[in-house]
Structure 1
């Protein structure tokens, strides 16, 4: 039994890919080469997870019968909900900083 189904693994991989892209394309000169600031991490994880929220709603939009699992899930939840939780956490942490 896998913890993901369909493209649900993107819930984990897209924020990591966004972080790597931000690290490569927009390096922060204040933290040195190969490092990233906390604000860049929040931005990358927030953007990557926001992409997953939209992707999850699009991919899981067909109606399901009661008891039927979503076609694309991560940790047995439709992939948009864990991604939405990550976006919410990033927004809250950014506002509290």
Structure 2
């Protein structure tokens, strides 16, 4: 029994890949090479998780039989909902900062 099913692994992979891409394309001059700032981290994770929310909504659409699990899940929850939690957490930290 895996903690993900289908494309559920993208719940973690997409935000991390987006952050690494952001660090490579637009390095933050205020931090040492190879490091990232909190702003860059929040933007990278937020954008990656938002992409994953949309991807999860598209992949998991369609009718399911009662009791049938989502085709793409992470920790047995459809993959778009943990990604939405990541987006909300990034927005909350950015607003409270």
TM bucket, shorter chain: over 0.9
Regions of 4+ moved over 2 Å: none
Unaligned runs of 5+ in 1: none
Q: TM-score, structure 1 length as denominator?
A: 0.98
Aligned residues: 97
Q: What residue in structure 2 maps to residue 7 of structure 1? A: 7
Q: What residue in structure 2 maps to residue 87 of structure 1? A: 87
The SS at the match of 2:67 is coil
Q: What residue in structure 2 maps to residue 57 of structure 1? A: 57
Q: What residue in structure 2 maps to residue 21 of structure 1? A: 21
Q: Name the CA distance, whole Å, in 2 between partners of 1:70 and 1:26.
A: 36
Q: TM-score, structure 2 length as denominator?
A: 0.98
**Structure 2 counterparts to residues 23-42 of structure 1, below 5 A:** 23-42=23-42
Q: Name the CA distance, whole Å, in 1 between partners of 2:26 and 2:73.
A: 31
Q: Name the CA distance, whole Å, in 2 between partners of 1:66 and 1:40.
A: 42
Question: Which deviations, in whole Å up to 9, do the C-alpha atoms of 1:50-80 show, x marking residues without a partner?
Answer: 0000000000001111100000000000000
Q: What residue in structure 2 maps to residue 67 of structure 1? A: 67
Unaligned runs of 5+ in 2: none
RMSD: 0.5
